[in-house]
Amino acid sequence: MPLPSAPAASDTPTQHAPRPVRPEIQALRAGAALLVVLYHLWPGRLPGGFMGVDVFFVISGFLITSHLAREATSTGRIRLTRFWARRARRLLPAAYLVLAASAVAVYVWMPVLNWAQNFREILASALYFQNWRLAADAVDYLAAENSPSVAQHYWTLSVEEQFYVAWPLLVLAAILLAARVGTRQLPTVTAVVAVATAASFAYSLWLTYTNVSFAYFSTFTRAWEFGAGALLALLTLRSATGRRKTRSLNPHLGAAISWAGLLVLAYCGLELTGSTPFPGTAALLPVLATVAVIAVGMPSSRFSPRWLIDRRVVQWTGDISYPLYLWHWPPIVLLPVILGHELGFWPRVAILVATFAAAALTKRFIEDPVRTGRKLGIQRSTVTFAFTSVAAAALAAASLGGVQHANAEADRAEQLTANITRDTPDCFGAASMVAGQPCDNPELDGLLVPDTTAIRRDNPNYPGCQTDTDDVRTTCTFGDKDDASTPHVVIIGDSHARALLPAFIPLAKEGKIFLDVQVKAGCNWSDNPHPNPDRTIAESCYEWRDNENAYLAKNADDIDLIVTGALAHPRPATGPKEQVAGFVKTWQPLADQGVPIVAFRDNTAQPEDTNDCLALESKITPDSCALPRDEAFPNYDPLVEATKEVSGSRLYDFTSFYCTDSECPAVIGGVNVYRDRTHISKTYMTTMKPYIEQRLDRDGLLGSTAAGS
């Protein structure tokens, strides 16, 4: 991600000599890389270290624009192919080396469960659209539980590469505009860059306010950070080439500005957090601090930070900052899988040391030889592009092969699940947890359906029933709507209400109910503030609730039962009493009209996805990856108290089907219980159908007794 401090050697003998290294920029690189690395290793100690990438973006904008502007002013043109070839020689060898090593590591150490996501992201990183893939996943509710991939950190490189493609074209367009309208070149380029930077900043403010998850990864919300460095480069060049000399900055003032910039960066690393809306206004601090440090350079005052910046270890860390960034992340993802447990202090230290060693070796034997060497004619642009194409194609082929293998394994496991559930064996799934009816079937020993390769597919995504985060009205139905003898049942709520569908849809297919599904990802049926910081998602939820409440009120006379469920959110926007009040306020009008309401208590919440654990088990047993019961319900469930306050509502607590007195198993009766960290698998919920039906029938909510019960 960091860039060379000066233009790389050209493939023609007329190339100007490289400009001298700027120590303050090397120090900024070193600090930015350490901020990111330490943040990923010890996020609790340095919660704002993620903003180190913003420092890199400013540096990139400054250096690249300095180079382009100097070339334009001295030659009147920009040689794009030469520029892109230099960038490729500088950045791609190390990047592709780490991606290749990561792909091999995924193949060797990661369970097939994680192959599809990891290889897809390796492919996206190799082709430099990883940021857009993560942006799409960030607003995809079904991808919310994805584990970090070995290539997740390449999103920043994708943003940079897109900048390297687009920025020279913008500068070239400004040069052509100057020639066409007859204005001076440098002021015109500066004006065009200023407009583009301002537009990006305005867009960043708006999107961070409305959709912060998407904004974090968007190239367009980050472009202004490159633009800030670019404007500094252009203003510096205008000052240097202007007719009037610019008065030198007082050295003591320069020293104060330099120290202030460095201290602001340290402050941001310590005070920003993952909950800070970013980039938006929060990114102004690190961006302006970086601009300030570069602008004043190395003040001659004895009070300047020169003694810190010039230290050999600081400059050396700046030299290896790019491969340091590349290498640090894969072992953070892989080592817990290899060790079988979370990383402790010393393994994290070992990763830090190994990352420095790998970075130094990569720079010595990969980066420098390719960047400056002459073997195989690598300095020729056409040769550079040929090697780049071959490397990218090889990574793409390997990644697609990994995805195809994962899909084939998932197909096999999915078919096995279908075969077993077609002829349900004794004691299968929930049948083995019926109170007072001990059930044991030796044929289920070692069975896991769906196994971890297919578990991500085991979700209740019935056609038309998935209301995405930006939808405000969706209805899907099952059964005969015109049959007045069957009760009209509405299931409403978030994805935890949707998880109940495998138990209710068979009732509709058997003609016992008419099922009306009103579910929306991440949006429960209440009046509570939405906990998501993305304003677009929150407002979509509020609009959906308004639509649903109007629909229910209008059709209350025809509704015989409302069923709801909700995630007991670990980070609610309000306290327990306010949460309960939000459900009560929403339910009460329907209850007052005589509509029965059944609320399902939320299932256990796993601190880690049990499938990651099960994928590493050599033999599946009933105790595999079980969670102690006292750790299984970390979150307050407001539905429990809400049913006590709303007359006509009932709480259905099926915890006994998930947990024994001492533990909550991950495998019950041969069935994989959890699709991800918080959702019950479709297969296990299907096995609960007889017991949910019994409870509904006992309460008089099925058949001819349903209406008015």
Residues 562 and 600 in one domain: yes
600: β partners: 565, 652
Both tokens assigned to 1: 């991600």
Write out pLDDT tens, residues 323-369.
999 999 999 999 999 998 899 999 999 999 999 999 999 999 999 99
Same domain, 389 and 433: no
Q: How many domains does the chain have?
A: 2
Instruction: Lowest mean pLDDT of 85-94, 100-109, 534-543, name the range.
Output: 534-543
Is residue 572 a part of any domain in this protein? Answer: yes
pLDDT of residue 473: 67
Task: Report CA Rg, the chain.
Answer: 30
| Mean pLDDT within 524-535 | 88
| Residue at 37 is within a domain | yes
Same domain as 444, residue 362: no
3-state SS, one letter per residue, for 161-221: HHHHHHHHHHHHHHHHHHHHHCCCHHHHHHHHHHHHHHHHHHHHHHHHHHCHHHHHHCHHH
Residues 614 and 651 grouped into a single domain: yes
Indicate whether 632 pLDDT > 70.
Answer: yes
Instruction: Please check whether residues 383 and 528 belong to one and the same domain.
Output: no
pLDDT digits (tens, 9 = 90+) for 533-583: 788 888 989 999 999 999 999 999 999 999 999 998 766 677 889 999 999
Please indicate, yes or no, whether residues 399 and 513 belong to a single structural domain of this protein: no
Output DSSP code: residue 556: G
Residue at a domain's end among 350, 374, 403: 403
Predicted pLDDT at 482: 86
Query: What rounded mean pLDDT belongs to the chain?
Result: 91
Q: Which domain does 633 fall in, by range?
A: 424-705
Q: For position 570, what pLDDT does the model report?
A: 63
What span, in angstroms and rounded, lies between the C-alpha atoms of 168 and 473? 45
What percent of the chain has pLDDT above 70? 92
Shared-domain flag, residues 687 and 556: yes
Residues 437 and 381 both lie in one domain: no
pLDDT at 19: 58
Structure tokens at 64: 């690249």
Neighbours of 647 (CB within 10 A): 11
Q: What is the 3-state secondary structure (H, E, C) of 573-608?
A: CCCHHHHHHHHHHHHHHHHHCCCCEEEECCCCCCCC
What is the pLDDT, as a whole number, of residue 10?
Answer: 36
Are 493 and 370 in the same domain? no
Residue 348 and residue 292 in one domain: yes
Average pLDDT over residues 244-270: 89
Q: What is the DSSP letter of 514?
A: E
pLDDT for the residue numbered 141: 53
What's the full length of the chain, in residues? 709
Distance of CA 172 to the CA centre of its chain: 35
CATH of the domain at 548: 3.40.50.1110
Q: Does any domain span residue 662? A: yes
CA pair distance 244, 213, nearest whole angstrom:
47
More confident site: 92 or 242: 92
Q: Tell me whether residue 418 is in a domain.
A: no
- What is the number of other CB atoms lying within 10 angstroms of the CB of residue 382? 11
Q: Which of 571, 620, 570, 652 is nearest to 448 (CA)?
A: 620
Confirm whether 7 is domain-assigned: no
Q: Is 11 contained in some domain?
A: no
Q: Of 10-19, 85-94, 208-217, 626-635, which range is least confident?
A: 10-19
Q: Are residues 440 and 370 in the same domain?
A: no
Q: Is residue 476 part of a domain?
A: yes
442 plus 344 within the same structural domain = no
Q: CA 10 to CA 8: how far, in whole Å?
A: 6
- Give 405-457 pLDDT, tens digit per residue: 999 999 999 999 999 998 899 999 999 999 888 888 999 999 999 999 999 99
Q: How does pLDDT run across 162-201, given as a tens digit for each residue?
A: 999 999 999 999 999 998 999 999 999 999 999 999 999 9
CA distance 372 to 11: 10
Domain for residue 532, yes or no?
Answer: yes
pTM score > 0.75 for this model?
Answer: yes
Q: Tell me the C-alpha distance between 652 and 695, whole Å.
A: 8
The last residue of one of the domains, among 403, 433, 460, is 403
- 3-state SS of 106-131 is HHHHCCHHHHHHHHHHHHHHHCCCHH
